[in-house]
Amino acid sequence: MGNNLINYTLHLADNSLILGQRNSEWCGHGPILEQDIAITNISLDLIGQARSFYQYASQLINQHSPSSGVGWGEASEDSLAYLRTEREFKNCLLVEQPNGDWAQTILRQFLFSSYQYYLYQYLQSNPDTSIVAIAEKSLKEVSYHLRWSSEWVIRLGDGTEESHKRMKQGVDELWRYTGELFTPATYEKELGIDVASLKNEWSQKVKTVFDEASLGIPSNIFMHAGGKTGTHTENLGFILADLQYMQRAYPGCEW
Amino acid sequence: MKTSVIDKKALYAYLEEIKDPEIPVLSIIDMGIVRDVKMNDDELEVIITSTYTGCPAMDMIAANISIELKTLGFKKIKITQSISPPWTTEWMSEEGKKKLQQYGIAPPDKRFTIPKDGVECPLCHSANTRLVSEFGSTACKALYQCNECKEPFDYFKCH
């Protein structure tokens, strides 16, 4: 139970941290100022969620298995974010995919926010009160992410010939990473977290938005998996190289 | 000092002096950030809650509370962050909403739980305004422009 809950909390934290880090790459490069601010606000929300989950995970680690504090003695939100290797990260593959163009970034956000929206609702009835509290608080923010990304998918999908083409390329690129969201890892199964049960609502939401955006849903596509248990695409190593550089070069540095 | 009785009212009056670093006209009491104050033996515990999970002002607020209370003579201070129940703009005081408006930020308004055109302009009070972006200069605000006086302004989102 202890290890499963630790792994699951890390999975939730890693999802948010890695997508937050990816989105932050847009800071100063957004297509217009307001949207640059929007995507970086979403980054901030996601990194805030990650902090709450890491704080909780470090508490659990220090209670259950103090030896796994990853290098800094006791585990802390910082040691968990900065000192684990890619095989220890449990985020799903979708969030580590490159930003690509604006269409691909928006689509990644939409596919993930819609998943997170139903997941955090579902987690409201989890027996673990800390998970419930973090999910409840984060859900308010995720509602904004979902609304914003849905509007953009529609705007670009149903926009010009060029924007439609870009959106479609995004779907072709990212759809293969959505299957993993609804395939439980061992720690989810052990905790009774039935992610497969979220697929219906999620598919409905995606279909509604894709219909309005005149985008089709790909069928019979091979679905990649592995991120939840530490087998990542080559992208994660590069993200961590950026994210963890300071702590690797100057261990324990503060500013 | 071993007492479990503290003068909460007086303490809140001191905490009223601590402002939100992003919105310096609002105190942390106006914002509803302070949830409780407790005396545990000789340790004073202040329970605060963050507005948004990623709000960078929270660490600074916690540090400012410690400094303020230390100057009042409290030796042992503990700042606890609570996340449940989650913070809501319902906890913002009426006084705080007035101060926000005078400062040039439209206060949270239940008719605009989902931001859309028409939030009252805090400068010329026209309702002929338009939503520019649901995300503004900080996590808690949305960006608007007034169609009458043309001024851009922030709206403090319902949360």
Q: What does the pLDDT look like over A200-250, one tens digit per residue?
A: 999 999 999 999 999 999 998 999 999 999 999 999 999 999 999 999 999
Domain parsing of chain B, residue ranges: 8-87, 94-156
Q: pLDDT-based confidence at A109, cuts 50/70/90?
A: very high
The enclosing H or E element of B44 equals strand B43-49
CA distance A148 to chain B (A): 8
Domains of chain A: 2-249 (1.20.1260.10)
pLDDT, mean of residues B115-136: 95
- pLDDT tens digits, one per residue of B14-71: 999 999 988 899 999 999 999 999 988 889 999 999 888 888 888 899 999 999 999 9
Model confidence at A70, pLDDT cuts 50, 70, 90, reads low
Burial of residue B24 (number of CB atoms within 10 Å: 0-12, 13-18, 19+): exposed
Instruction: Evaluate if residue B1 carries a pLDDT over 50.
Output: no
Tokens of A64: 């259950």
Q: Please answer yes or no on whether B159 and A140 come within 8 Å at the CB atom.
A: yes
Q: B139 vs A138: CB contact, 8 Å cut-off?
A: no
Using the predicted structure, report yes or no on whether residue A126 has a pLDDT greater than 90. yes
Topology (CATH) of B94-156? N-terminal domain of TfIIb (2.20.25)
A241 contacts chain B (CB < 8 A): no
A-proximal residues of B, 86-145, CB under 8 Å: 86-87, 114, 132-137, 139, 143
- Collect all residues of chain A within an 8 Å Cβ-Cβ radius of residue B143: 34, 37
Residues of B in contact with A134 (CB under 8 A): 53, 83
Which of B135, B138, B156 should be substituted to probe chain A, the one whose Cβ sees the most A Cβ atoms within 10 Å?
A: B135
Q: What percent of chain A has pLDDT over 90?
A: 92
Cα gap A80→A99, rounded to integer Å: 24
Q: d(Cα A131, Cα A118) in Å, to the nearest integer?
A: 14
Chain centre to alpha carbon of residue A41 = 15
Which residue from A16, A91, A190 is spatially nearest to A24, judged by alpha carbons? A16
* Res A66: pLDDT: 57
Residue B129 main-chain phi, psi, to 5 deg: -130, 160
CATH number, domain B8-87: 3.30.300.130
